[in-house]
Amino acid sequence: MTALTIDQIVPGRHDIDVALEALPHVKAYLAKPHERDTVRVVVDEHEESLVVPRGVVDLMARVLALVAAGESVSIVPSHAELTTQQAADLLNVSRPFLIGLLEAGRIEYRAVGKHRRVKASSLHDYLREDDQRRREAADELSALNQEMGLT
């Protein structure tokens, strides 16, 4: 596999306004029960349309929400192999911190010569496990606070 160049959508004011207007309509559509796993999307004023998987529309709703909030957005395939800098950027950590996670075995990677490549799916797994650890720590703190009568 080859390393991936990550492109970003950096929304401007017009993009944010359009996303803010579209998002409620997409969310309302997705909230209704539908029998099909595809969605017909109108793409221009001449009623030309195309059919896309419902999961793509779910993803589009998430992208619209981020754009509406003024956030930059990147979509990275789970099989993509990232450089350590790209992986660090996606985790919003420093490259040395990421390398520490790699060397500690917290995130799976492979060596390509002297370089490391990290699968996007490995980053996703790390984030999911890290979120779980944080939730468990918060629950434990909450329980301790209750035991000590601090809440």
Kindly state the average pLDDT of the residues 70-80.
Answer: 89
Q: What is the reported pLDDT for 69?
A: 96
Residues 40/49, Cβ–Cβ less than 8 Å: yes
According to DSSP, the β-strands at 110-112 and 49-53 are unpaired
Q: Is the pTM of this model over 0.75?
A: no
Q: 147 or 107: whose pLDDT is higher?
A: 107
Confidence tier at 9 by pLDDT (50, 70, 90): confident
pLDDT tens-digit map of 19-72:
999 999 999 988 988 888 888 888 877 878 889 999 999 999 999 999 999 998
pLDDT tens-digit map of 112-149:
999 999 999 999 999 999 999 999 999 999 999 888 88
Measure the CA–CA gap between 106 and 130, rounded to whole angstroms: 10
Q: Helix (H, G, I), strand (E, B), or coil: what is residue 112? A: strand
Confidence tier at 4 by pLDDT (50, 70, 90): low
Measure the CA–CA gap between 61 and 57, rounded to whole angstroms: 6
Q: What is the reported pLDDT for 46?
A: 80
Q: 9 or 125: whose pLDDT is higher?
A: 125
Confidence tier at 6 by pLDDT (50, 70, 90): low
Residues 111/83, Cβ–Cβ less than 8 Å: no
pLDDT tens-digit map of 80-94:
999 999 999 989 999
Measure the CA–CA gap between 118 and 128, rounded to whole angstroms: 16
